[in-house]
Amino acid sequence: MTETIAIASDHAGFALKGVLKLELESLGYAPLDLGTHDTASVDYPDYADKLAQAIKAGKAARGVLVCGTGIGISIAANRHREIRAALCQDVTTARLSREHNDANVLVLGGRIVGEEVARECLKAFLATPFAGGRHVGRVAKLAKP
């Protein structure tokens, strides 16, 4: 069965979201595109919320978010208890976000990270398992109300 990956962006992340959507397809994943669908100005919290709701509803277990810097949309996503969104700017942070933090949402800045680096971050994020061990207790604390 093909894993569904939710993906969303604001207007500043729209172009990079398109690149990442194609990369997901080429890797054999089924992207669930939650918008935005053009470059008209929109509010990034709305798209972070859509992605969080899709994960909460079980439509996808993991996701990708993109805004101009990645900062705003990651803050908005992390307001949701079921989300562990990691803002990454290179392959090392993408890998460690999975290994150490069991991140379920990769966040990238469309105006910060180039397309090739973004593709490599995505691949590392999707391929890296959670290491568990000493990190389990720390990650469990993130889910506390």
Angle at 11 (CA atoms; ends 63, 68), nearest 5 degrees: 75
Amino acid (1-letter code) at residue 110? G
Instruction: Give catalytic residue positions.
Output: 100
Distance, in Å, from the CA atom of 2 to the CA atom of 19, rounded to the nearest integer, reads: 19
Contact 131, 100 (CB under 8 A): yes
Report, in angstroms and rounded to the nearest whole number, the Rg of the chain calculated over CA atoms.
14
Task: Tell me whether strands 62-67 and 4-9 are parallel, antiparallel or unpaired.
Answer: parallel
Residue type present at position 13: G
Q: Report whether the peptide linkage leading into residue 36 is cis, meaning its omega lies within 30 degrees of zero.
A: yes
